[in-house]
Amino acid sequence: MSAIDQLFREYRSAGRKALIPFLTAGDPDLEFTGLLVRELDRRGCALCELGVPYSDPIADGPVIQASYTRALAGGVKTRAILELAGQLRRPAGSEAAAVRMPLVTMISYAIVYRLGLQQFVRDAVASGVSGAIVPDLLVEEAGPLAEVCREHDFSLIQLVTPTTPRERARRIAATSTGFLYYVSVTGITGERRELPPELVDNVAWLRHETDLPICIGFGISGPEQVRQLAPVADGLIVGSAFVRRIADVGQSDRAAALRDVGQFASQLLEALNERG
C-alpha cells in the first residue's frame, strides 16, 4: 500500500478531507520551497504537490507559468528537486524532523521520458516521493509508466476534465492509482470567483465509477469555494492561490510570506473540515 493509499484510508475512516497545496519547486529557490513545505505540514495539510518547472507548461495559468519561468531562470533541476524531497521526507543526522505528509511531483511526461521511466520512478521513490501527476500523459499511452509505478508502489495520478467523455473517464480511473484528479473547470489553472454549477454532478457520477479518492483542483481560491466542494470531494487541490503569495517574495520578507502562506492554509483547512 502506497503512502497516498494509507493517507486516504485514514482520512476516510476519520471523516476528514485532504487539503493538497501546490508549490512550484524552486520559486524563488529550493531552500524557501523546503521552508514552505515544512510550514504547510505543520499547519496540517495532507499532501503537497511539488511542481517541476517546465518551459512549456500544460494547462497552467499565468501565475504558475510565471513561477516556472522564475524557477527555471534560477537554474532549478529535477534532480535537485528530488534531493530536496529526500531531505524533507528522510532527513539524516541533525536535520529537522521528517515531513509527515506525502509529497508528489507534478511533472511533464517529456521530463520523465528523458530521464527514463524506471530511472525516474526509482529516484523518486528513493527520495521519499510517493507519486506523480503527469498532466500531458494520454491514457492511451500511460501503460508503460503505469506498469513501472505499480512495480514500485508509486502512485500515478491522472486527470479527468469536464470535457472528458465518460467512457474515457472510466479508462483514466482504471489506470490511475493514489487518487483521481478532477479538473473543476475547462481551461487553465488560476483563481476563480465561481465554479461551474455542473461540477458537483460530474464528481458524483465519477464516484459511482471508481473507488479511488477524488480530489478537485483548478480554480479554488478561498474558503467559500472549499465549503462548497468539501461535501463531494475527498480532497481539494489549491495551486495559484498559494503560488501568488510567494511570487514577489524577497530576502527581507520571507518570514512574512511564510506566515501568510501558513495562515491561508489554516483558513482553508478550517473551512474544509467544518462540521455542518
Beta carbons within 10 angstroms of residue 141's beta carbon: 11
Beta-bridged to residue 109, according to DSSP, are none
The one catalytic residue among 5, 27, 41, 49: 49
Question: Would you call 56 a catalytic residue per the annotation?
Answer: no
Any idea what the CATH number is for the domain that residue 261 is in?
3.20.20.70
**Could you list the residue range(s) of the whole structural domain that residue 214 is in?**
3-272
**pLDDT at residue 192, rounded to an integer:** 43
Beta carbons within 10 angstroms of residue 187's beta carbon: 13
Residues 275/260, Cβ–Cβ less than 8 Å: no
What the block records as the C-alpha cell of 130 is 510517493
The one catalytic residue among 5, 27, 41, 60: 60
Mean pLDDT confidence for 13-30: 96
Structural domains counted in the chain: 1
**191-235 per-position pLDDT tens digit:** 445 555 678 888 889 999 999 999 999 778 899 889 988 888 999
Residues 162/202, Cβ–Cβ less than 8 Å: yes
Question: Would you call 60 a catalytic residue per the annotation?
Answer: yes
**237-269 per-position pLDDT tens digit:** 998 899 999 987 766 789 999 999 999 999 999
Task: State how far the Cα of 258 lies from the Cα of 4, in Å rounded to an integer.
Answer: 26
The DSSP string of 227-270 is HHHGGG-SEEEE-HHHHTTTTT--GGGHHHHHHHHHHHHHHHHH
Predicted confidence band at 94 (pLDDT cuts at 50, 70, 90)?
low
Task: State how far the Cα of 7 lies from the Cα of 3, in Å rounded to an integer.
Answer: 6
Of the candidates 101, 106, 85, which has an alpha carbon nearest to the alpha carbon of residue 46? Answer: 101
- The fraction of the chain above a pLDDT of 90, given in percent, is 71
**Out of 58-67, 175-184, 238-247, least confident range:** 58-67
The DSSP string of 111-166 is HHHHH-HHHHHHHHHHTTEEEEE-TT--GGG-HHHHHHHHHTT-EEE-EE-TTS-H
- For 56, the 3-state DSSP assignment is coil
Task: State how far the Cα of 276 lies from the Cα of 274, in Å rounded to an integer.
Answer: 6
In this model, does residue 180 exceed pLDDT 50? yes
Q: What is the H or E stretch that residue 247 is in? A: none
In this model, does residue 96 exceed pLDDT 80? no
Kindly give, in sequence order, each residue whose CB lies less than 8 Å from that of residue 148, ignoring residues fewer than 6 positions away: 117, 118, 121, 154
Question: Strand 214-217 to strand 180-183: parallel, antiparallel, or no bridges (unpaired)?
Answer: parallel
Task: State how far the Cα of 16 lies from the Cα of 139, in Å rounded to an integer.
Answer: 30
In this model, does residue 143 exceed pLDDT 70? yes
pTM of the model: 0.92
Kindly give, in sequence order, each residue whose CB lies less than 8 Å from that of residue 59, ignoring residues fewer than 6 positions away: 135, 183, 187, 188, 189, 218
